[in-house]
């Protein structure tokens, strides 16, 4: 199997094909949506209150890492409000005119879902402020000195924005959302429920112990959990007796190189390099990336966040350093004198090798 395939297995992003497979697994009602207790409760309140007022819901922003259920929640909001859902995304709106066209066709009570809202072009963003606050767009007619802007009033509707980068959202836009749901990685127990539910829908006979095993290796992310479940099913079909039991889960995940803590080949290779080549660090990102044969950006955005979150490595002003957990996980012994590791072997170019 190629490195690309393997990376895709534990990446939180989804491609087109996978998005189609996911559609079948999306919970349709808020009560079916597993985990995210805080956001679910907050959202339930906001929606129920709006329904009982007979009004449309306030604008909602959903923020959090990929694969945690933002698109799913947007669809749930529309269905709970018995509203039609319009879908678009920041990158799809390249001109303010694109947004004006969408807005002018919005109907009373619609839910307009804008994915990757942090990637909206500036002029469109400004148009959106006005639409969200005053339910109005200014349509510019004509050019140059003769141009006039004609205000067009819009029916009441709800914007649901999703972003993986809430920090990139300009404050004026952020402030126009009446409610922001911060999505967090899932607890293992919640992931087990996600997996059990998906297994039912996909008609997979899944052992609870296998569900636990998959949950543990899914990086707190339902999208990864569903993907690993499908690979375990593959293994059970081809090499097992069709049942997704604990042994099948273990064997399948070993074939696909997802280790017991959910680390994949790239993650392990980063840790291994850090410990073995650089004596545990601290060492610069570029040196690590060169040693594992990847772009620094790939190491920083694909491998590092999970390694940091799980406490396998730390970022220091002088670079990345392995923690005791990393050494332990690789079955290696850290250098015996604590505090002296690596410092003595780090050279100006950060390569861990003396200058020629
Ligand atoms: N709470 C949940 N319960 C059950 N399934 C879930 C839950 N959250 C997400 N999923 C499943 O995980 C998959 C990914 O969810 P979704 O597409 O909503 O993520 P996202 O946050 O929009 O990701 P991205 O940032 O990549 O757009 C879907 O197939 C969905 O069925
Ligand atoms: Mg999405």
pLDDT tens profile 27-55: 999 999 999 999 999 999 999 999 999 99
Ligand 1 atom nearest 12 alpha carbon: 26
Residue 135 has which token pair? 């339910």
Q: What is the DSSP letter of 301?
A: I
* Residue 109 CB coordination number (10 Å): 19
Of 58, 184, 170, nearest in space to 118 by CA: 170
Task: Give the model's confidence band at 354: pLDDT under 50 very low, under 70 low, under 90 confident, else very high.
Answer: very low
> Cβ(71) to ligand 1 under 6 A?
yes
Q: Which of 131, 142, 160 is nearest to 62 (CA)?
A: 160
Alpha helices, H only, the chain: 3-10, 16-23, 37-53, 70-80, 96-104, 122-134, 171-175, 188-202, 208-216, 222-238, 246-255, 265-272, 285-292, 296-298, 304-309, 324-329
pLDDT at 313: 95
Q: How far is CA 319 from CA 274, 313, 343, 350, in A?
A: 11, 10, 11, 9
Task: Note the pLDDT tens digit of each residue in 215-255.
Answer: 999 999 999 999 999 999 999 999 989 899 999 999 999 99
| Span 9-38, average pLDDT | 85
Residue 93: Cβ-neighbour burial (10 angstroms; 0-12, 13-18, 19+): buried
Q: In the predicted model, what is the mean pLDDT of residues 106-135? A: 94
Q: How far apart are CA 76 and CA 71, in angstroms?
A: 9
> Stretch 186-213: mean pLDDT, rounded?
95
Ligand 1 atom index nearest CA of 164: 25
- Half-sphere exposure of residue 16: CA atoms within 13 angstroms, side-chain side: 0
Q: Return the pLDDT at 2.
A: 42
Q: How confident is the model at residue 8 (pLDDT cuts 50, 70, 90)?
A: low
Give the per-residue pLDDT at 323.
95
Paired residues of 314 in beta bridges: 321
Residue 320 is labelled as binding a ligand: yes
Would you say the CB of residue 25 lies under 6 angstroms from ligand 1?
yes
DSSP state of 55: S
pLDDT in tens, 55-92: 999 999 999 988 999 999 999 999 999 999 999 999 99
When mean pLDDT is compared across 126-130, 244-248, 249-253, 339-343, the lowest value belongs to 339-343
Cα 69 to ligand 2 centre (Å) = 7
Looking at the DSSP bridge assignments, the partners of residue 179 are: 60
Comparison of pLDDT for 288 and 2, the residue scoring more: 288
Which residues make beta-bridge pairs with 148?
141
What are the chain's domains? 12-182 (3.40.50.300), 188-255 (1.10.8.60), 265-345 (1.10.10.10)
Active-site option among 217, 223, 227, 250? 223
What's residue 337's pLDDT?
Answer: 53
- What is the full DSSP assignment across 219-281? TT-HHHHHHHHHHHHHHHHHTSSS-B-HHHHHHHHHHTT--TTS--HHHHHHHHIIIIISTT-
- Biggest alpha carbon distance in the chain? 78
User: Which band of pLDDT confidence, cut at 50, 70 and 90, is reported for residue 16?
Assistant: confident
């Amino acid at each position: 199997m190629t490195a690309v395939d393997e990376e895709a297995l534990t990446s939180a992003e989804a491609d087109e094909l996978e998005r189609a497979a996911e559609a079948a697994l999306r919970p349709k009602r808020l009560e079916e949506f597993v985990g995210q207790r805080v956001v679910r409760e907050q959202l339930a309140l906001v929606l129920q209150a709006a329904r009982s007022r007979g009004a449309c819901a306030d604008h909602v922003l959903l923020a959090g890492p990929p694969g945690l259920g933002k698109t799913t929640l947007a669809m749930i909001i529309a269905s709970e409000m018995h509203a039609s859902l319009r879908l678009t995304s920041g990158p799809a709106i390249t001109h303010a005119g694109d947004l004006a066209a969408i807005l002018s066709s919005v109907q009373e009570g619609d839910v307009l879902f804008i994915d990757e809202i942090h990637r909206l072009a500036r002029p469109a963003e400004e148009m959106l402020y006005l639409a969200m606050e005053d339910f109005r767009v200014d349509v510019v007619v004509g050019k140059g000195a003769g141009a006039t802007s004609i205000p067009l009033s819009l029916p009441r509707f709800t914007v649901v924005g999703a972003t993986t980068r809430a920090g990139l959202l300009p404050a004026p836009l952020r402030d126009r959302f009446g409610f922001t749901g911060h999505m967090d990685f899932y607890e293992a127990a919640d992931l087990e429920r996600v997996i059990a539910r998906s297994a039912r829908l996909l008609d997979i006979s899944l052992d609870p112990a296998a569900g636990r095993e998959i949950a543990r290796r899914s990086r707190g992310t339902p999208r990864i959990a569903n993907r690993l479940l499908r690979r375990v099913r593959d293994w059970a079909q081809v090499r097992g007796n069709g049942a997704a039991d604990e042994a099948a889960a273990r064997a399948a995940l070993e074939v696909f190189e997802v280790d017991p803590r959910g680390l994949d080949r790239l993650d392990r290779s980063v840790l291994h390099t850090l410990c073995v080549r650089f004596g545990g660090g601290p060492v610069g990102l570029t040196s690590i990336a060169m040693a594992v044969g990847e772009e620094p950006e790939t190491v920083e955005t694909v491998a590092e966040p999970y390694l940091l979150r799980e406490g396998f490595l730390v970022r220091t002003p002088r670079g990345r350093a392995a923690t005791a957990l990393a050494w332990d996980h690789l079955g290696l012994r850290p250098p015996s004198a604590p505090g002296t590791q690596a410092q003595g072997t780090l050279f100006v170019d950060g390569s861990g090798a003396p200058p020629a």
